[in-house]
Amino acid sequence: MMLAVDIGNTDITLGLYKEAKWVHIWRLSSALNHPELYYGIKLREFFFEAGLNTSNVNKIVISSVVPDLTDRIISVVETLFERHPIVLGPDVYAKLPIAVLNPYEIGSDLVSNALAAYMRFKSNCIVVDFGTALTFTTIDAKGKIIGVAIAPGLKTAIRSLSQNTAKLFDVPLELPDSVLGKNTVHAIQAGILIGYEGLVTTMLRKIKAELNDPNCAAIATGGLSSIITTIKDQFTEVDKHLTLDGLRLTGELQL
């Protein structure tokens, strides 16, 4: 079994891969105030509740965009599984079958996305990751990451508006049936969710135009990738676990 760990700004996502499929997906909050012991206990609980033996994990791959959590999680998995993990970073990028733009600047989650997408399509492709940030990663037909665009993620944008109004509002991530907001919550939903529909559509159109490839594959990922249902037809695929799949591929390359 292989364990893939994606440490993001909002969540830590853990995937257990066995017999050509993800058999378990777990999530934890990326809370900087949690000590190492907390994460160790949670991982033990996950395995215990699933009836799994930690000794059956023979490979661990980690991506992290939260440096303050990286060492904590590495220490936890080394103690629990008695194995040193592969940590996706510049040294590992050099061994991947893709070329990484600005390896010391780009997030390892975007590299993992790019690897999974390129290995799937082997052609020009765009990954749109609906996470804490909304990112557009473009890979050319030779496997080179040629550019990234970043905007605030859906939750980030909604939180920014709702927390800076005169009253605090709990705004659910639900696509409204009208762009004409009838109250504050509806107005924020219309402006962000329907507005992002236009943002994503325009970005994809402009990226494809720069590539001179109107049929370029586009894949959506991230926990919020299915929220804006009206843009589903803009994507060749929607795969919430693309980042984990890139980590799985990294582990299978025997780096």
159 and 56 belong to one structural domain: no
Average pLDDT estimate for 63-80: 96
How far apart (Å, rounded) are the C-alpha atoms in residues 201 and 7? 28
Give catalytic status of residue 71 as yes or no: no
Average pLDDT estimate for 59-63: 98
How far apart (Å, rounded) are the C-alpha atoms in residues 249 and 115? 8
Domain limits at 183? 97-242
Last-in-domain residue among 87, 111, 131: 87
pLDDT (tens digit per residue) in 74-122: 999 999 999 999 999 999 999 999 999 899 999 999 999 999 999 999 9
Q: Single out the residue of 131, 102, 116, 103 nearest to residue 8, CA to CA.
A: 131
233 and 128 belong to one structural domain: yes
132 and 227 belong to one structural domain: yes
125 and 225 belong to one structural domain: yes
Average pLDDT estimate for 56-62: 96
175 and 208 belong to one structural domain: yes
116 and 193 belong to one structural domain: yes
Write down the catalytic residue from 11, 68, 109, 170: 109
Last-in-domain residue among 32, 53, 87: 87
CB contact at 8 A, 201 and 234? yes
- So what's the pLDDT on residue 118? 98
How far apart (Å, rounded) are the C-alpha atoms in residues 155 and 171? 9
Average pLDDT over all residues of the chain: 93
**Token pair listed for 184:** 């504050």
Average pLDDT estimate for 54-61: 95
106 and 42 belong to one structural domain: no
CA distances 167 to 140, 188, 193, 219, Å, are 46, 13, 21, 37
pLDDT (tens digit per residue) in 216-241: 999 999 877 778 888 999 999 999 99
12 and 122 belong to one structural domain: no
| Total length of the chain | 255
103 and 212 belong to one structural domain: yes
How far apart (Å, rounded) are the C-alpha atoms in residues 242 and 62? 14
42 and 103 belong to one structural domain: no
